[in-house]
Every structure is written in C-alpha cells, then in structure tokens.
Structure 1
Amino acid sequence: MAVLFTLIILLSAFLLFQIQPILTKEQLSQFGGGASIWSAGLFFFQTCVLLGYLYIHLIRHLRLQWQIALHQVLLIIAVAVTYTHVEQSTLNTLPPIWSVVVSLAVQIGPIFIMLSTTSVLLQKWHCLLNQSPVPYHWYALSNFGSLIALLTFPFIFEVYFALTTLKELWFLALLVLVTLLFALMALLTHKVSRKTSVSPTKPTKTIFNHHLLCITLAALSSLLLSSTTFMINVNIPPMPLTWVIPLAIYLITFIIAFLLPVQSGSFYSNSALVFATLAGILMYFLGSKFSAAAQFSMYTLVLFICTLSCHRALRQIAPNQHSMTSFYICIAFGSVLGSFTSSVFAPVIFNLPLEYPLTLLAIFSLHLYNYTQCSVSKYMKLGYLIILMSVTFSFVLLNNAYTTLNVITKRNFYGMLTVKDLTINDTTERRLIDGTTIHGYELMDGASPNTGYYHGKTGIAKAIKTLQANGPINIGIIGLGAGVLATQGRKHDTITFYELNPAVYHVAKKYFSYLNNSLADIEVKIGDGRQLIAKEISQSAFQQDAIVIDAFTSDVIPTHLLTTEAFELYWQRMRNNGVLIMHISNNHIDLMPVMANLSLRFNKSLLLFDFKSSASSQLGSRWLIMTSNEVFIESMPTSTLVNRYVYINQFTAPWTDEKHSLLPYIKL
C-alpha cells in the first residue's frame, strides 16, 4: 500500500503542475501575452489549492468511510466537467485578470481542486488509520512531483507537443490517477471495516499567533515568487520557462525545508539572507544593466534564499496530526494572499513594482525579529538592526533618485509605463519607457521629432516612403508606443493603430504630440491587435496596403502575433501585393528563424534592414519586411534579401497557435 500511496501522490502533483503552464499558455493568445497572465494564473491555481484544503478541513469530522464515499462522488463529477469552455463574449465583459480566472475556473477548476487535496488528504487518512505522526515528508514528495512537471514542460513537452495533444495526454493520465485513487480508497475502506472504530480525533487548540505567523510566512514567500516573476518578465520574454523556473525554485525550497533536518537561524543562513536582501534591492534598480542570463540567475538565487528561510520557519512550527489541516489551510491562505497582493492589489497602489523590494525587507525584518527572540548577544541583535535600518534608508534614497526624472508612471494589468524628461547636451528629451525599453521619444523644443527606432534611415521609414510613392496609403500598426509612426503619415493617408494597453494610448495622447500633429487620418483601436484585425476582416473593412508589427513590449515577445494562424489573418487583411513590416530588435531572442519559416510557408520574400548607430537620436534597430510585391522589393533602397534556408533546421518549424516555443531561439 505504501507504493500505491507514493505513486498517487507523485502522479497527482505531476498532473497539477503540468496543467498550469499548458492552460496558462493557452490564455496568451486571448489576452495579449502580458507577463501578468502568469501572475493571474498563479493566483487562480493557489486559490484552488486553498479551496481544496478547506474541503479537507470541513470533512474532518466525518467518519473515514463517509469521507471516502464523498470524495469518490466529487471526483467523478469533477472529471465529467473537465475542459468545459466559456464563451469569449462573456470573458470580454470582464477585467483582464478576472477573464483569465473565469476561463481557467470553468475549464479546470473542479478537478484541480480535487487533485490539490490528494497529498494532504492521504496524510490525514494515514494518520487516522495508523494513529501515527504526520508524514510531512509526503508533502515534500508531492512538491517533488510538481517539480518534475514544471521542469519537463518547457524543455520537453512544450518543444515537442502541441497544446491539444498535451491536453489529451493529460486527461488520459488523469483517468489513470482516478483509477489508482479508487483502488486505494477501496483498500482503505476494506481496512477500515476490519477495525472496530476509526473516528476522527478532536483537534487541539492552537493559538492565534501561531496561525498568523504561518499565514505571514506563506504570504511573503508567495508574494516574493509573484513579484520575482514580474521583475524577470519585465525584460525577459514571458514564456513558460520564465514562469516555471521561479516556481520550481519555490517548490525546491519546500522540499528542502520539509524533507531535510531543520537548520534555521545559523550564521550562514543569516548571512545568506543579508546578501539576498541587498542583492535583490540592487537588482531592482540596476537589473536591466545586466544580460538576461545574469538577471535570471540573480533573481532566482535571491528567491531561493528568501523562500527557503520562510519555508524552514514554517516547518519548525508544523503541528501534530490534530491541527494538520489548519496548518495547511494557513499555508494555502497565505499563498493566495501573496499572489492576490501581487496580481490585483500592488498594480493599483504602486506605479512601480515596489512590492518586490518591500517583500525582501519584510522577510528580512520577520527573520530578524524571530532571530532576536532567541538567546543571542545584544551586539548581534544591534548589528542586524543596523543592517536593516541601513538597507531601508538606502532603498528610500535610491528610489527617490531613480524616480526623480519621471513625469508620470502608470502600471496596470499589462505592465508598467514611465515617461521621463532627460536633459542631454542642453536638449530636453521626453522618453516613453516600457519596463526598460524605449518606445519612442520626443525633443521638447519640437525639432527632429522622427527619432529613435523610427528615423529616416530605418527599414520602417524607407518602407512607408516607398509605399507612398504610389499615392495615399492605408496601413495598420500593431503597437502604438509614443505614436512616433504617426509622423510618417501624409495628407490623405490612413493609419490605424491597434494597442492592447489603454494606458499607452492615454500617455501617447497626453504627453506626446505625434498623434495630434500627424497629417494622416489617425485612428487608435484598443484591444489585442490580432483579434481586432480578425474583427475587421469579418466586417469586410477596406483592405490595407501594409501592416506593421511593433508590439514587442520591453523585449517581450507576444508569440500569438507570430504564428501561422496570425499571419493568415494579416494576409487576408491586406491587398494581394500587401507588405508586412516587423520590428524584430530584441536583446534575448533571435526571431530570424521564425520569420524565415513563415516566409517560406506563405511563399513571400524577406528583406532585412539592420541599422546600427551610436548616435543617441538614432537608435539601432532591426526591421524585416515580408512581401511578394516585386515592384516594392525593387524600389526599396539598401535592403538585404534574406536567404531563408540558412535559418532552417529541425527546431524551426513554423509556429502555430498549438505549438511554439521560444527556447530554441534564446541568445546565449
């Protein structure tokens, strides 16, 4: 029976954490690929775990036979309603984060709640049958199963399997798990019938402070996980890898804390926490100056040290079997509280991601408080207190210096925008910055407005000028930025911007002059560019001469805009000789193989404009143009016709909505 217990716990945890990235990735095509999708998904899944633990707590007074019978009925119902879909029209009426939550809840909510109970419920049943201590190492075993799922998804399953195939395989594995669970429950029922009495024991009272400490520790570790994921995804593409690895680190610290002997409060662990706090705050201010690998490594190291401190403290106060369910509920509630704070609360009250450094300071403060309650010398207590005060004071000073040039900072579900006024060589320059990437700027004296990525030497400027040689043009642009491309329009031209983030439009309209001063007819549509284009096709809108894709927020890749299905929409929206123009400048991802495959798939030519510059007013940029318009190609000056076959290998099949991975294209 021990083997069956182990197998069920491992498989259940594996399925729980395999379905998370599958369904969360599926949401990206609906909500624009923002990094906050991952935080919203994490909030939903942690809420399901809390509901599962509450269910265990509520049935604890039932006899074991009744607990088993009830669980069997609920499992059958949950399996029957798995993968139910909700209408997109219903989701469109909700705020983005709640659209994600509702979509996930309808598809997977009931079965996810039931699966989340497996480890704790089996621990409870084991204790009832054998009157033994709580096997907390099973909780570590459950986290190990989750860890395997998380690590295999980005490196194996995402690369080699389509989403539909993964969902089908997951459901088959679910049926296997349910079969094993029913077999185990039958064995347990038989074992119970041979005992004279197996009734739940009365729980012992636990003090409120104990529960509060559990919730606080769990909330801080969860909040640090969510805020770390946000910080990573500001400048690194929000692919499952950047969501999975931090969560894997989080699980590893649970495994270490609940499986290995408790060692908390040592000189080495205290020193590590001091280092992590300082390093995390420095990364908050200076992280964008480092490479993607360096950022990722440092953020995850800080996460590991701080969450391990929290989880070791949790293991130290873990109760006996009588209060076990309360303990797990406190952990789950704290986890939900942390992810809710990061996903919903923090974007409302903070324009900057201040929850990250504040969480680091809170973890250090709590650890310092607990440590100073022990029998340590007053000099050691004073030393740690001085460190805390120094770090806090330094953070305040750095934050003031960091934001002193900000005109406005806006943060919402889709990310963080900052408008800065900088004085360079006696010239005041206003910049729009998304994360750390410049999305357009304007000289405040009104001179040379068309600068940055869009000056006259870039591929986009040359392409538009070539198109305009034949008369007024009608183009669509996915991604607004500061609205700099509006200046490329001439009288009688029509330019339609598709912008996902309403805050971008507000900032471009109020703080920059490009939209207001353009000679062209300008229209800005708020929503996901791909969905808006599909809607225009269904309404038989006038066909466009060109579509520009310039929606890569802070080096983030909205992969749903670069799939075969998306490109089919673009070609339907344009005239037969239409031109697709793409801004592919990126510090971390090489998009050339993706574009080469798509050009072959649609039998189009590729032109590359790779402009390098050291001038502050003319940023280097890389533009690709895809078209079958031979007249346009011959008219384009100083372009490179791409040999697409150079970029083709076994890992570069054309992306589809069902199957695409950024992993093979990461620049090392």
Structure 2
Amino acid sequence: MLWIGPAVVLGAFLLFLVQPMAGKLLLPLYGGSAAVWSACLLFFQSVLLLGYVYAHFLARALKPRTQAAAHGAVVLACVLLPRTAPQEGTDAAHVLLALAGAVGLPYFLLSTTSPLMQHWLGLLDTRSQPYRLSAWSNAACALALLAFPFLLEPRIGLSRLQQFWNGAFLLQSALLGGAAWLVWKRRPSAPELPLAGSTPWRERFRWLGWAALGTAFLVATTAHITQVVAPAPLLWVAPLLVYLLTYAAAFLFDAQPGRRTAWQALLGLLGMALALLYLDLQAGLAAKVGLYCLGLWLVCLFAHRELAASKPESARLTSFWTHAAAGGALGSFLAGVLAPSLLKGYFELPLLMAGTAVLCLWRMRGAGRWLMQGALMAAVLVVTPSLALIQNYYAGLVEAGRNFYGSLRVVDEPASGTRPALRKMLHGLVVHGSQFLDPEMSRIATAYYGRSSAAGLLLSRPGTGRRIGVVGLGAGALAVYGRPGDVFRFYEINPMVAEFSRRWFSYLRQSEARIEIAEGDARLTLAREGPQSFDVLVIDAFSGDSIPAHLLTREAFALYRKHLAPGGVMAFHISNQYADLAPVVLALAADAGFACTRMTSGPSPAVAALASTWMIVDTGRRWQGAPPERGHLWTDDAYSILPVLK
C-alpha cells in the first residue's frame, strides 16, 4: 500500500482536477458555448474507457512482471512526450482534438491507475479488498471537484494551477513507477485468465446499461443547467460531484438495491419535473441547482447501487470496470452527441426522466398494491410534465434548429391585452430579441432595446456618420437606430442566429444604416481586425443567461478600447437573473481609468419592452472616486463567477 494507495488517491485527484481546468481553458476558444463541457465529458469518459481496456489487457494477457515493465514504459512515455496547445474551433470534434493534444496522454495514464492498482493490490495481498480503493478514489475525485471552484479557481490563476498540476503529475508518475517496481520485485503469481473472460452477455449488458444511465443523466442535467444559467466551472462541478459521490456511496456501503432505491429515484424525478415546470424562469440559483442535483443524486444512486450489486469477484475486476467505463462513454455519447444531433430542443433531460420513471416502475414490480399505485401516480406526474414541456416547445413555432452553440427557435405569440402579436427569437429559454408582426410597428425596438433602455437612449443621441459595433446579433433590433450614413457592424458567433435574423425578422432590412455582419467569435475576430474606430461598441453576447466570461476580462476590455474612436463609449448588457456582473464591469472601467455608469429600465408590456440593466463605460470621462474591490477584476488567467452570484 506504500505505493499503491497514494497512487490511487493522487491519481484520482489529478484526474478530476484537470477536467474543469481543461474545460475552462477551452471556453474562450469556443465562444463560451455550453456544448464545450458536454464534449469534454465525452472525451474524458472515452479516454477513461481506453485506460480501463488497457488495464484489462495488461491484467489478462501479461504476467505480473511483464505488466510492471510495460506500464513503467507507458509512464515514461506519458511524461516525456510533448503536448500541444489547444486551438480555436467551431464544433465538438474540434474540442475532442484540442483535448487530445493538450491532456490526452496524461489523462490516459491517470485513467489506468484505479483498475490497474486494484488488480496489483489483489495480486500482492490476497486478503485485501481492492474494491475499497474505488471508494477512496471517488472520495479523492470529489475533493478535487470541491477544491477547484471554491478554493483554487477564486485564488489561483489558471497558469499557476497548470504548473501545480504538472508538478503533481510528475509525483504521480513516480508513485506509479514505484508500484511497478514493487510488482517486479515481489514476483506475485496470477491465475491465467482468458482475455475475453466467460462473463454472460446478460451480465455485461447490465454493467453497460446501469453505468450508461448514470452518465447520460449527468450530461443531460449539466447541459440543462448551463443553458438556463451560464456555462461556468462551478455549474459543471456541482452535478459531476453528485455523480461521483453516488458512485462512492454505492461501492463503499454494501446496501442492496431494490424497491426502496427505485422509489427514491421516482421522488427525485418528481423534484426535477417540478423544477422544469416552475423554477427554470423564476427560482433562485440555489433552489434550481439544488433541486436538479437532488434528483440527479437519487437517480444516480439508484443506477450505481444496481451496478455495485452486480460486481463480480476480484478475478474479473478489470473486466467489470472496463464495461462500466464503456457504459459511461456510451451514456455521454447518447446524451452529448446523438441527442443534440437528432433533437431540435433540449429534450434529453425530459426524455430521460420519462424513460427512467418507467424503468423505476419496472424495478418495483411485485411490490404491494398501495406502493405500486403510489409509484404509478408518481411516474405519471413525472412523464406528463416532461412530455408537455416538449409539446410546449412547438407552440407557435416558426422555425427551430440546433447546433454547437445551442438550441434556437423563432416563435409567434398572439396579441395579449394591449400588446400586439409578437415574434420572438429564443436561445433555450432566453429571449434574444423580438419584433411586432404588424408592419406599421415593426420598426419599434422591443425586448431589452426599447427607447427607454440604456442602449436605446445611447443610440438615439444626435449624430450622423456613426460607426456602431455590436457583439451579438440576436434578432437585430439595435439596427432600428441606424441613420443614413451610419455603419452598424454586428459580430455573431452562431451562423444560425444570422440566418434566422435575416429570414424571420426585418430589422436588418429596414435599417437606414449600412449593415455588416462578421460571423465568428467576436473577440477572436476583433483581434484579427484592424482598428474599427467605433463611436459605440455594444457588448450584448449571451451564453445561457449571462455574457461569456472571456468577454469581460481585462484583456478583452483592452481589445475593445483598441477598436473605439477617441471618446468612444462601451455599453455592456448585464441583465441577469443569477449573477450581478456590475462589479466586474466597474472593476474593468476603474482599472482603465474610465467613468462607468449603471443604467436600468423597467418593463413595458404594451411595447414588449423587458427590464434591462446596462453598464455604460465612457472613455471620454475619467474615473472618479475610490477604486472598487480588486477581487472583481477578471483576467484571462483568473476569474470566478462565485463572488458575483446573487
């Protein structure tokens, strides 16, 4: 245990610390898309599978001393071979390639550690309980996931964290080398086992299925939370931590699965159904995330207890973990790749909820009459709202589509009270613009861009021949403020948004200004362009319910200044239900020495105006007063959403 125990614990800690690190590193290169994390989960699950297959091959095909020599060579190769810096991209395939070059080899080595060390411990000490190491491994994973958002991310920059991780990886490599030396020295005997084993196919499918269910629920729940709130490491880590703790609980305690866990899973699904129906648009962040994570806990505990109950004897240990890893990769693929390619909306979670409710009913078969009737009622209360949510998605639908940047739809809403009929563009549940269907009212800016909003007041100021830059196109409502001689240049990362805004909204066609649309990530595009001399630069890009963090850093702010005319103004749209981004923009303005004003406007249903909050940075006026808290100044290397959560 001198080498094996510490190797398992440290390896698990590094294995799960690198996941949010790598995801955060990639976010700015992929426009802050919520799909980045889904692709990351698929990559990590797939490489984990490769690691388990490798460990299974070593354990079955090679003698112990040969295993030690071979793994020692792999450790050396993973330490010495170079890694490549991630590059920008536009889809999940690019994310997978970027991860393969940046962390692929170290992650592969770490993924082999738990099953191989458990196998070696069983060879070196026949009285040991190798499965117990799995629980310690999961506990170390949980510690890493807790440490990243609450301890490391708010206090340590990403570059320093990478240095720490690289140093700890060298220590881990030394521990693995020591474990290999121990096996080589002691020459333990091992029974000869066939590579494929004699496990019945029914048992194999059980391992695959239960593992896939838990992972699919993890991916779908995380995708739903991040598309409603924002893609941020904190919101990645919370569901992943719940998922891991259920694994640890299932394998550490020998509680047998049964009707009770199935009933508990149904109760968790009921809570998630409640959140889907009533909380997505109105509840606080803690209540929303807490209810989803509670449901995820109960469903994953149900799946993982079923998986743990089917674990075989230690001789088939590596085969068991290989099948579990394959199930994890399968679940990630189904929920993270296949479902988004087939479904136009975020339907993965409600469909999984409905299917799991039926599975729980099947698992409770043979229970008492009253228990079954209660379970049937609970299942109906889960399935009905889940399918109703999908049906509501198509109410008034004009067109819908989905790509790497999310689910987009255009819907028509009938007149309501004094408000005429309206057409909306929605990204998930977030309104990205709207327009009156009446041609006589189609030039009235709505949503967050009405005449009384900060953006409306700013762009209504006298002047001609203006150059206006807008990061985030939406429906194109700001184009109504264009005058003859003006140039409005929109930066839009999502090609589907540009397509829908031209096809279903007339703001761009009706504008008196010259309209330019630059497709691609705004920050990367601005970095490649020469100075644009914008009189006003509007930052109105949203991923989920928030501006992507990489658009609110000191380096991004300096880039915006480069493209402003002397005395130019920046307008940051920070309307947000879950985070107060005003301190972040104030810190950026104070750091640069410019005046900054917060402007809010209330809703006006008659003209379809929504409440909005803007931060106006005037480079023609100097900052007055004491500087704000330094901790709110975000940089590319160090930022955390935790201090600004409401």
Bin for the TM-score computed over the shorter chain:
over 0.9
Q: Are residues 1:415 and 2:406 paired?
A: yes
Give the alignment partner of residue 101 of structure 2, picking from 102, 106, 109. 106
Q: Are residues 1:651 and 2:631 paired?
A: yes
* 1:542-557 equivalent positions in 2, closer than 5 A: 542-557=532-547
Conservation of the 8 A alpha-carbon contact between 2:153 and 2:638: yes
* 1:140-539 equivalent positions in 2, closer than 5 A: 140-192=135-187, 197-202=189-194, 204-267=197-260, 269-286=261-278, 287-372=280-365, 376-377=367-368, 384=375, 387-388=378-379, 391-393=382-384, 395-397=386-388, 399-423=390-414, 424-425=416-417, 427-446=420-439, 447=441, 449-466=444-461, 469-537=462-530
Residues 614 and 31 (structure 1), Cα distance of their counterparts in 2 relative to 1, 3 Å cut: same
How many Å apart are 1:385 and its aligned residue?
5.1
Give the alignment partner of residue 582 of structure 1, picking from 532, 553, 572. 572
How many Å apart are 1:174 and its aligned residue?
0.8
Cross-structure match for 1:615: 605
Residues 387 and 570 (structure 1), Cα distance of their counterparts in 2 relative to 1, 3 Å cut: closer
Cross-structure match for 1:46: 45
Residues 643 and 584 (structure 1), Cα distance of their counterparts in 2 relative to 1, 3 Å cut: farther
Amino acid at match of 1:411: R
Q: Secondary structure at the match of 2:529?
A: helix
Cross-structure match for 2:640: 661
How many Å apart are 1:277 and its aligned residue?
2.0
> Matched residues in 2 for 1:314 and 1:627: separation?
59
Residues 295 and 108 (structure 1), Cα distance of their counterparts in 2 relative to 1, 3 Å cut: same
Q: Are residues 1:569 and 2:576 paired?
A: no
How many Å apart are 1:200 and its aligned residue?
4.0
> Matched residues in 1 for 2:513 and 2:139: separation?
58
> Matched residues in 1 for 2:234 and 2:384: separation?
35
How many Å apart are 1:390 and its aligned residue?
6.3
Residues 255 and 479 (structure 1), Cα distance of their counterparts in 2 relative to 1, 3 Å cut: same
Residues 82 and 19 (structure 1), Cα distance of their counterparts in 2 relative to 1, 3 Å cut: farther
Conservation of the 8 A alpha-carbon contact between 1:214 and 1:314: yes
How many Å apart are 1:129 and its aligned residue?
3.2
How many Å apart are 1:13 and its aligned residue?
0.4
Conservation of the 8 A alpha-carbon contact between 1:608 and 1:642: no
Q: Secondary structure at the match of 2:635?
A: coil
Amino acid at match of 1:282: L
Kindly provide the CA deviation profile for residues 523-560 of structure 1, in whole angstroms up to 9, marking residues without a partner as x: 112111001111112xxx54222211001234123010
How many Å apart are 1:383 and its aligned residue?
6.0
Amino acid at match of 1:606: C
How many Å apart are 1:354 and its aligned residue?
1.4
Amino acid at match of 1:301: L
Amino acid at match of 1:44: F
Residues 506 and 327 (structure 1), Cα distance of their counterparts in 2 relative to 1, 3 Å cut: same
* 1:54-133 equivalent positions in 2, closer than 5 A: 54-59=53-58, 60-81=60-81, 83-85=83-85, 88=87, 92=89, 95-131=90-126
Residues 53 and 284 (structure 1), Cα distance of their counterparts in 2 relative to 1, 3 Å cut: same
How many Å apart are 1:19 and its aligned residue?
1.0
How many Å apart are 1:642 and its aligned residue?
8.3
> Which stretch of the first structure deviates more once superposed, 375-384 or 400-409?
375-384
Amino acid at match of 2:70: L
> Which stretch of the first structure deviates more once superposed, 233-242 or 446-455?
446-455
> Matched residues in 1 for 2:381 and 2:599: separation?
50
Cross-structure match for 1:19: 18
- TM-score, normalised via structure 2 length: 0.94
Kindly provide the CA deviation profile for residues 423-482 of structure 1, in whole angstroms up to 9, marking residues without a partner as x: 21272111112222222111111215212211111111222232xx34211121100111
- TM-score, normalised via structure 1 length: 0.91
- Aligned Cα root-mean-square deviation (Å): 2.1
Kindly provide the CA deviation profile for residues 350-377 of structure 1, in whole angstroms up to 9, marking residues without a partner as x: 11221112212323333333442xx545
Kindly provide the CA deviation profile for residues 586-607 of structure 1, in whole angstroms up to 9, marking residues without a partner as x: 1111112111111122111112
Kindly provide the CA deviation profile for residues 205-245 of structure 1, in whole angstroms up to 9, marking residues without a partner as x: 11111111211111111111011001111222221110001
Percent of residue pairs bearing the same amino acid type: 34
Conservation of the 8 A alpha-carbon contact between 1:262 and 1:315: no
Conservation of the 8 A alpha-carbon contact between 2:158 and 2:638: yes
Kindly provide the CA deviation profile for residues 30-82 of structure 1, in whole angstroms up to 9, marking residues without a partner as x: 11111111111111111110010111122222011111111111111111235
Conservation of the 8 A alpha-carbon contact between 2:472 and 2:539: yes
Conservation of the 8 A alpha-carbon contact between 1:607 and 1:642: no
How many Å apart are 1:118 and its aligned residue?
0.7
Kindly provide the CA deviation profile for residues 497-531 of structure 1, in whole angstroms up to 9, marking residues without a partner as x: 11111111111111111111111111112111001
> Matched residues in 1 for 2:452 and 2:612: separation?
10
Residues 664 and 390 (structure 1), Cα distance of their counterparts in 2 relative to 1, 3 Å cut: closer
Conservation of the 8 A alpha-carbon contact between 2:119 and 2:130: no
How many Å apart are 1:576 and its aligned residue?
2.4
Q: Secondary structure at the match of 1:263?
A: coil
Residues 144 and 523 (structure 1), Cα distance of their counterparts in 2 relative to 1, 3 Å cut: same
Conservation of the 8 A alpha-carbon contact between 1:456 and 1:462: yes
* 1:131-142 equivalent positions in 2, closer than 5 A: 131=126, 135-142=130-137
Cross-structure match for 2:32: 33
Matched positions, count: 638
Kindly provide the CA deviation profile for residues 257-309 of structure 1, in whole angstroms up to 9, marking residues without a partner as x: 00012232244x33322222222233233332322221111100000000000
> Matched residues in 2 for 1:256 and 1:31: separation?
36
Conservation of the 8 A alpha-carbon contact between 1:235 and 1:556: no
Amino acid at match of 1:623: W
> Matched residues in 1 for 2:493 and 2:186: separation?
58
> Matched residues in 1 for 2:378 and 2:119: separation?
43
> Matched residues in 1 for 2:386 and 2:570: separation?
46
> Which stretch of the first structure deviates more once superposed, 446-455 or 349-358?
446-455
Conservation of the 8 A alpha-carbon contact between 1:437 and 1:553: no
Runs (5+) with no aligned partner, structure 2: none
Conservation of the 8 A alpha-carbon contact between 1:551 and 1:558: yes
Q: Secondary structure at the match of 1:173?
A: helix
Q: Secondary structure at the match of 2:281?
A: helix
Q: Secondary structure at the match of 1:453?
A: coil
> Which stretch of the first structure deviates more once superposed, 580-589 or 166-175?
580-589
How many Å apart are 1:380 and its aligned residue?
5.1
Conservation of the 8 A alpha-carbon contact between 1:16 and 1:116: yes
Q: Secondary structure at the match of 1:75?
A: helix
